[in-house]
Amino acid sequence: MLTTLTRRLRSNDQGMTLPEVTVATMITLMVSAAFFTVFMAFNRNVQLADQRASTLRDIRPVIAQMLLELRQATDIDGDGAIIEKLDSSWSSLDLIFYSDRRPDIEGPERYRYYLTNCANNICDFVHEVLPADAGSGPNWTYDNNTPAERTLISNVVASGGALLIGVSWNTGSEILTTSCGGATRCDFDVVRIDLRIDPDPETGTLAALQIREDVRLRNGKRL
């Protein structure tokens, strides 16, 4: 009697069979893989969001600086035009104007914004300040000093519409100026800034961040 009961207990204590172990292992692996995939996707999304936020933080002070400098720009040659030169083409983007913002420097400084180090449709946006030649006023010259340069933003997208463009209005319609300077007077009231930055140029997974501002030239006088 005791022997028979012992055999029955042993027969009911065989544990999990090999197929059951295999199925359980496969289910565990599938759940783990799904969790890992979701975790990695979430982590990547967080990283991309941080990249966008960081890029936006870098762009804002650049735009603020451009707004301040352009609003304080002055007409140094009396032709009524604040901007000396504008070239909106990506291959030779250039914006030149003057502003007397440095009390420690004689005469107005020459300000220039341009693109450089372009590769794979991505460029650096550079800011340059050149002091006037000492004692050259009132017809200031800018031949004997070295400009101070610094890169404001990298990864500027060199495609699409113009980054810098002159805007004026006639009977409610916009008149856009993409090239002026020299014999062609830069006759407009507003500089439109349309800055596009690629937050993730290595993978190209993020859409370009775009900031657009219209800057009115306060010190201009239309002729």
Tens of pLDDT along 8-24? Answer: 545 555 566 777 777 77
Between 130 and 200, the higher pLDDT residue: 130
3-state secondary structure at position 142: coil
Report which of 127, 123, 126, 128 is spatially closest to residue 196, judged by C-alpha positions.
123
The stretch 63-90 carries a mean pLDDT of 89
pLDDT surpasses 50 at 61: yes
CB 203 within 8 A of CB 192: no
Beta strands in the chain (DSSP E): 83-87, 94-99, 109-119, 122-130, 148-157, 164-170, 173-177, 179-181, 190-197, 209-216
pLDDT surpasses 80 at 51: no
pLDDT surpasses 70 at 46: no
What is d(CA 66, CA 44) in angstroms, rounded to the nearest whole number?
A: 33
What is d(CA 168, CA 5) in angstroms, rounded to the nearest whole number?
A: 102
Between 178 and 35, the higher pLDDT residue: 178
- What per-residue confidence (pLDDT) applies to 9? 45
The stretch 179-190 carries a mean pLDDT of 90
The whole-chain average pLDDT of the chain stands at 81
- How do residues 107-137 score in pLDDT, each as one tens digit? 899 999 999 998 888 999 999 999 999 888 8
The stretch 163-170 carries a mean pLDDT of 90
- What per-residue confidence (pLDDT) applies to 2? 44
pLDDT surpasses 60 at 68: yes
Strand 148-157, strand 94-99: pairing: unpaired
5 pLDDT band, cuts 50/70/90, is very low
